[in-house]
Amino acid sequence: MAEIDEGNSELDNFLMEFYIPDYIFIGEGDSETEIASHIPVCPVIVFVNSRSGGQLGGDLLITYRSLLNKHQVFDLGEEAPDKVLCRLYARLEKLKLCGDGFAAVIEKKLRLIVAGGDGTAGWLLGVVCDLKLSQPPPIATVPLGTGNNLPFSFGWGKKNPGTDSQSVKSFLEQVMKAKEMKIDNWHILMRMRAPKEGTCDPIAPLELPYSMHAVQPVQRVSQSDSENMEGHHTFRGGFWNYFSMGMDAQVSYAFHSERKLHPEKFKNQMHNQSTYAKLGCTQGWFCASLIHPSSHNIAQLSKVKIMKRHGQWEDLEIPHSIRSIICLNLPSFSGGLNPWGTPDKKKKRDRDLTPPYVDDGLLEVVGFRDAWHGLALLAPKGHGTRLAQAQRIRFEFHKGVVDHTFMRIDGEPWKQPLPLDDDTILVEISHLGQVNMLATHDCRSKSVHDPSTHSGSHDDGDEEEDSAEEMEEEQRKFGAADTFRIPDEVDIAHLA
């Protein structure tokens, strides 16, 4: 019978429902199996980014290890989740082959908890996607970042949690009661011509976010590798929440640059959010029409094409006033705002728009003129300029007045160089797959497969059609997982 460590001998009955015994992690003999004294209802593996949330990540790590088996709680600063999960599932498989029924129960009931920012959560989601497990475990997210859009979308809140024992027990109870939901994930491909001078090594000429990979130039890899074009740099990656470009990403870039220079000033969530708001002012986001020329607007920077549910590529007309465009997967942006809202009946009928389901294989494409436009999201039925819903979207950048723009994936921004000659930079987003999330029963994310979300949805209430003028005016580091690869069955040559 598996023994509980002496340090955990005082576990109460509640915590035993999450507890995984030592022998699941540590094998004392190749052929030796043990019988567990108690089968947990909700066995968990916990991943904590000890660097997130200032001191909170470290404190949370200590609390989880004091309440559960220390072998089921991992510090992401010390060990990557792919190594942990590969080792665990190899051990479970070995035990099952030895006739251990308890190991099979653990595998079936296992749930994952990840504590960190959206980047940390996305890292784990990607790893689980990569493993292609027969029974992939669903994931609950603890908000330890600044925006916390992923946790907020699935009902786990957006404020940094308490780190004391009672707070952790309360969260564990929510995990036990949570429901499972699917979430779409999205592949992003970016291609630009390699510099004519200098090294041809695949070093990105920009500070890419955690989820983007440089793909080696064609000279360094097999001729059959179709992810490259001769003389081009290719980057691939992906996201779970959003891709954005323009003014909002510029503000985010300023925030992240300031945090890199002075990390000691960014250990408090309220301070971080206040600094973010101030940068929005200093970057001119509230007076964009005066400070930022129209050459910075999306329509002047890029040609945009979309592919709807079925059919061919078609041009997407972007109003000339739009300075920021967001391709949104979840109903949460910038710390909990919902840019898409819920289209009213006329919008559904005349423009074929639907509520923002997280598992329908569609991105919501939304535009903003400036921060004042964004403040409309604070209203009960406020939303941005709804441009389209699409299963694929393509941006083509040609030579223009400006030499760079700003882009952002799930809160991670970078400064993107633009063509200086007749070259084209391509960014293309396409649906990749899905992963299992854990959600509270009153979460804001909605599933297209849940009948209650269809009957219970609320319209914006705006029954009047937009006028022609209104339509013209109205028309945001870890090494990433390998999940954001283009599927084998997709012909890369047709992506660009």
Q: How does pLDDT run across 342-360, given as a tens digit for each residue?
A: 776 776 666 778 888 999 9
pLDDT band at 377 (very low <50, low <70, confident <90, very high): very low
CB 210 within 8 A of CB 169: no
The model's pLDDT over 77-105, given as tens digits with 9 standing for 90+, comes to 999 999 999 999 999 999 999 999 999 99
DSSP state for residue 169 in the 8-state scheme: H
Per DSSP, the three-state class of 338 is coil
Tell me which residue has tokens 């090594």. 201
pTM: 0.78
**How far is residue 196's CA from residue 54's CA, in Å, rounded to a whole number?**
43
**How far is residue 157's CA from residue 242's CA, in Å, rounded to a whole number?**
18
Q: Which of 401, 379, 398, 393 is nearest to 460 (CA)?
A: 379
pLDDT band at 299 (very low <50, low <70, confident <90, very high): confident
pLDDT band at 186 (very low <50, low <70, confident <90, very high): very high
Q: Where would I find the H helices in 132-191?
A: 149-153, 165-177
CA atoms lying within 13 Å on the CB side of residue 252? 26
State the angle between helix axes of 118-131 and 81-97 in degrees (0 to 180), rounded to the nearest 10.
40
pLDDT at 494 over 70: no
The predicted structure's pLDDT at residue 266: 56
The predicted structure's pLDDT at residue 270: 58
State the CB neighbour count (10 A cutoff) for residue 274: 11
**How far is residue 35's CA from residue 416's CA, in Å, rounded to a whole number?**
56
The predicted structure's pLDDT at residue 298: 78
More confident call, 471 vs 190: 190
Q: Where would I find the H helices in 182-341?
A: 247-261, 269-282, 288-291, 298-301
Question: Which helix (H) or strand (E) is 244 found in, with range?
Answer: strand 242-246
The predicted structure's pLDDT at residue 273: 55
Distances (CA, A) of 61 to 107, 163, 165, 230, 414: 23, 9, 11, 47, 30
Tell me what percent of the residues of the chain surpass a pLDDT of 90: 38
Per DSSP, the three-state class of 171 is helix
Mean of per-residue pLDDT scores for the chain: 76
